[in-house]
Amino acid sequence: MNIPVIFDLALGLVFTYLILSLLASEIQELIATVLQWRAEHLKKSVEIFLAGDVDNSEDAHVIELANNIYSHPLVKNINQEAKGFLVTLPRRLTWGIGSLYRSVKTARPGGDKDETIFGEKKRSGPSYIPSDIFASTLLETLQLPTMIQTLTQSRLEKFKNAQLGKIEQVLIELQQQTNDDETSASFINTMFQQYAETQADFEQISWNFQNQKADLNTSVTRLGESLDRYIEVFQTEMPKQDLFDKALRKINFIKKNIFEDIEQAISSGGLRPNLNEVVESVNKDSAVHNEIKEAAVQQAISLGVLPKPNLNEAVESLRRDNAIFQEIKEAVKDKESPTNQGIRNVVQSIDLIDKLPKSVVENISVLGKRAQSSIQTTEEGIHTLRKEIERTFDTSMERASGVYKRNAKGVAIMLGLGLAIIANADAFHMISRLSKDSALRETITNNAGEILLRNENNQAIANPNSQEDQVNYALNQLTRQADGALNNVALPIGWSDVNLDQQIAWTHKKNQSFPFLRILYMLPGWIFSGIAIAMGAPFWFDLLGKFINVRNAGRRPASYSRSQVENNENGGG
């Protein structure tokens, strides 16, 4: 055979495998859609990301956390579905097939056989989650902002009480040191009354922070301003005696030492949790998590949710077990005020965190350490942690995508082998036919050239960086064109009498049994074709273009080529 014949033979094989690869791609895409392989793979990848490794990803509590993330409105909005009976009819069919497929699988840890991989008997899930949405959803599911707000509120409450205690101590000492003269007694009574007003002012400031009507800096600043007003009244009303001057200096020292620099006051009082404390809040064995628990109990007691006589008794009960949280949940479950909702969120978050496996806690801790830097505020810490989760999630999903592609390639090989047998695509028989039939070679070459010309400006098929939607659209166009080409080409495949006669010298018309032993001669050709089909339509389309370019020793002018295609389509008319 000369060189042009060899090129035509190779081009015929490439064209045949392009046709079969397009069919295999359509079948594989249909199976992946019906069984929701992408969505299932994403869900399992999320569980692996949360657990930190594959072994711990099957833990029931990891699955529960992942299900909670999938139940979040942000993730639900990604998985949008059509409404109405007619438009959802095809979807209902795929749900039914998917349910049948999942019914033969064993139940997942922590769930029953009826529960789907997406949790809560959901029938579908998203096949892609943006990293920013995942990071925000994870933090909100763990209620980290709420937990940190509760912790900060508790520390602000202790800080407030400490400053009030110092002022009260000054007044008590002053009362003990003064004589029982009328002027001193009147002044001390006035200052105790003013102290009560300052205490009420402090409580209002704390309440505003609790209800997120003021941030931490504003709240501490207002505490200082309230103390300034107390000092002003003290200075205006006090008798001219050294004893009262000394008391005023003590109160001024409290003000100057604590409130002169607001950031210093926040830092020295430990009011603003750092990133390490944010991360430690999800560790049920940490001091920070126990502090949050005590803060939640204290808040419930102060609001009258728990009928406990004092905080110490409640804290002791908390240290023995978590039964007290069940009492809180029962007390606020039917009350929809913002305050009760806040307590409910904290208790639910504590419940969830107490169930977190050690692997999840360690994974979040590692992310926190990576994000730790020169962070000034808790908000910056949470923002930095969110960005680190986004970055790590993107990296994890890239690896998961690689795993999915490898799995899909394995399915493609099995599908390609099955299609090669069903279509009787014997590679060696095709080579034999193409080498002997010049008319067949020319017909395939012409049709392949026309298909290539129609798609010469479509770079999405062979470009590995193309978006999946672009590739699918281009492949759909190519499939329609290939279907049209098949009307003009009798490919050397199939189980027709003509092909079987040329392949194994047997037809249905012969009064002979099927020569099953000859299948052994066909098997190597099927295996070769199965692997070739699994290489995918983009590969064969790209190779087709290269073969035609080499065969033609350079492309013909675009205007001439297109006019030839149009003439062929119009029957030359």
Instruction: Convert the pLDDT of each residue in 122-146 to its tens digit.
Output: 777 888 999 999 999 998 888 888 8
Q: What are the tokens at 323?
A: 């039964």
Residue 134's pLDDT is: 93
Q: What are the tokens at 253?
A: 């020292």
Share of the chain above pLDDT 70, in %: 75
In-domain check, residue 138: no
Count of the separate structural domains present in the chain: 3
Higher pLDDT: 12 or 512? It is: 12
Which among 516, 497, 491, 366 has a CA at the least distance from the CA of 437?
A: 491
In-domain check, residue 181: yes
Residue 119 sits at the vertex; the CA angle it makes with 115 and 124, to the nearest 5 degrees, is 95
Residue 572's pLDDT is: 43
Pick the last residue of a domain from 359, 389, 419. Answer: 389
Cα–Cα distance measured from residue 401 to residue 129, given in angstroms and rounded to the nearest whole number: 13
Question: Averaged over 414-432, what is the pLDDT?
Answer: 93
Q: Do 510 and 434 have their domain in common?
A: yes
Q: What are the tokens at 513?
A: 């049994």
Asked whether the predicted pLDDT for residue 102 surpasses 80, the reply is no
In-domain check, residue 66: no
Question: Averaged over 430-435, what is the pLDDT?
Answer: 90
Pick the last residue of a domain from 252, 268, 284. Answer: 268
Cα–Cα distance measured from residue 309 to residue 290, given in angstroms and rounded to the nearest whole number: 21
The neighbour count for residue 25, using CB atoms within 10 Å, is: 22
Q: Do 335 and 256 have their domain in common?
A: no
In-domain check, residue 243: yes
Q: What are the tokens at 448?
A: 């392949």
Q: What are the tokens at 125?
A: 């899930």
Q: Which domain holds residue 535?
A: 3-27+404-569
DSSP-derived secondary structure for 499-559: HHHHHHS--TTSSS---GGGHHHHHHHHHHHHHHHHT-HHHHHHHHHHHHHHHTTSPPPHH
Q: Do 562 and 416 have their domain in common?
A: yes
Asked whether the predicted pLDDT for residue 403 surpasses 80, the reply is yes
129 within 8 A of 269, measured Cβ to Cβ: no
Task: Quickly state the pLDDT bin for 249 (edges 50, 70, 90).
Answer: very high
Question: Averaged over 282-287, what is the pLDDT?
Answer: 85
Residue 310 sits at the vertex; the CA angle it makes with 306 and 313, to the nearest 5 degrees, is 90
Residue 461's pLDDT is: 58
In-domain check, residue 46: no
Residue in the structure block whose two tokens are 């010049």: 438
Residue 169 sits at the vertex; the CA angle it makes with 168 and 174, to the nearest 5 degrees, is 100
Residue 169's pLDDT is: 93
For residue 54, CA distances in Å to 46, 85, 360, 365 come to 11, 40, 12, 18
Cα–Cα distance measured from residue 218 to residue 385, given in angstroms and rounded to the nearest whole number: 25
Residue 319's pLDDT is: 52
Q: Do 377 and 410 have their domain in common?
A: no
Q: Do 478 and 538 have their domain in common?
A: yes
Maximal C-alpha separation, the chain: 135
Question: Averaged over 99-114, what is the pLDDT?
Answer: 59
Q: Do 184 and 310 have their domain in common?
A: no
Classify 237 as helix, strand or coil: helix
Cα–Cα distance measured from residue 542 to residue 474, given in angstroms and rounded to the nearest whole number: 13
Question: Averaged over 343-358, what is the pLDDT?
Answer: 78
Highest mean pLDDT among 470-479, 506-515, 543-552: 543-552
In-domain check, residue 18: yes
Cα–Cα distance measured from residue 163 to residue 169, given in angstroms and rounded to the nearest whole number: 10
Asked whether the predicted pLDDT for residue 522 surpasses 80, the reply is yes
Question: Averaged over 462-481, what is the pLDDT?
Answer: 62
Q: Do 384 and 512 have their domain in common?
A: no
H or E stretch covering 207 = helix 182-210
Pick the last residue of a domain from 389, 416, 436. Answer: 389
Q: Do 223 and 303 have their domain in common?
A: no
* pLDDT tens-place string over residues 533-549: 999 988 988 888 888 77
Indicate the angle between helix axes 427-436 and 3-35, nearest 10 degrees. Answer: 140
Task: Quickly state the pLDDT bin for 314 (edges 50, 70, 90).
Answer: low
Q: 3-state SS of 105-143?
A: CCCCCCCCCCCCCCCCCCCCCCCCCCHHHHHHHHHHHCC
What type of residue sits at position 121? Answer: K
In-domain check, residue 69: no
Residue 572 phi/psi, 5-degree rounding, is 80, 0
Task: Quickly state the pLDDT bin for 194 (edges 50, 70, 90).
Answer: very high
Q: Do 439 and 541 have their domain in common?
A: yes
In-domain check, residue 494: yes
Question: Averaged over 82-101, what is the pLDDT?
Answer: 55
> Average pLDDT over the chain, rounded to whole?
79
Residue 554's pLDDT is: 46
What type of residue sits at position 243? Answer: L
Q: Do 220 and 178 have their domain in common?
A: yes
Q: Do 336 and 423 have their domain in common?
A: no
125 within 8 A of 70, measured Cβ to Cβ: yes
For residue 305, CA distances in Å to 14, 290, 301 come to 76, 20, 6
For residue 50, CA distances in Å to 65, 189, 410 come to 8, 60, 27
pTM above threshold 0.85: no
Q: Do 285 and 252 have their domain in common?
A: no
Residue 310's pLDDT is: 53
Cα–Cα distance measured from residue 51 to residue 359, given in angstroms and rounded to the nearest whole number: 5
Could you tell me how far CA 62 lies from the centroid of its own chain? 14
For residue 90, CA distances in Å to 34, 39, 64, 226, 473 come to 10, 18, 30, 67, 20
Asked whether the predicted pLDDT for residue 49 surpasses 50, the reply is yes
Residue 199's pLDDT is: 93
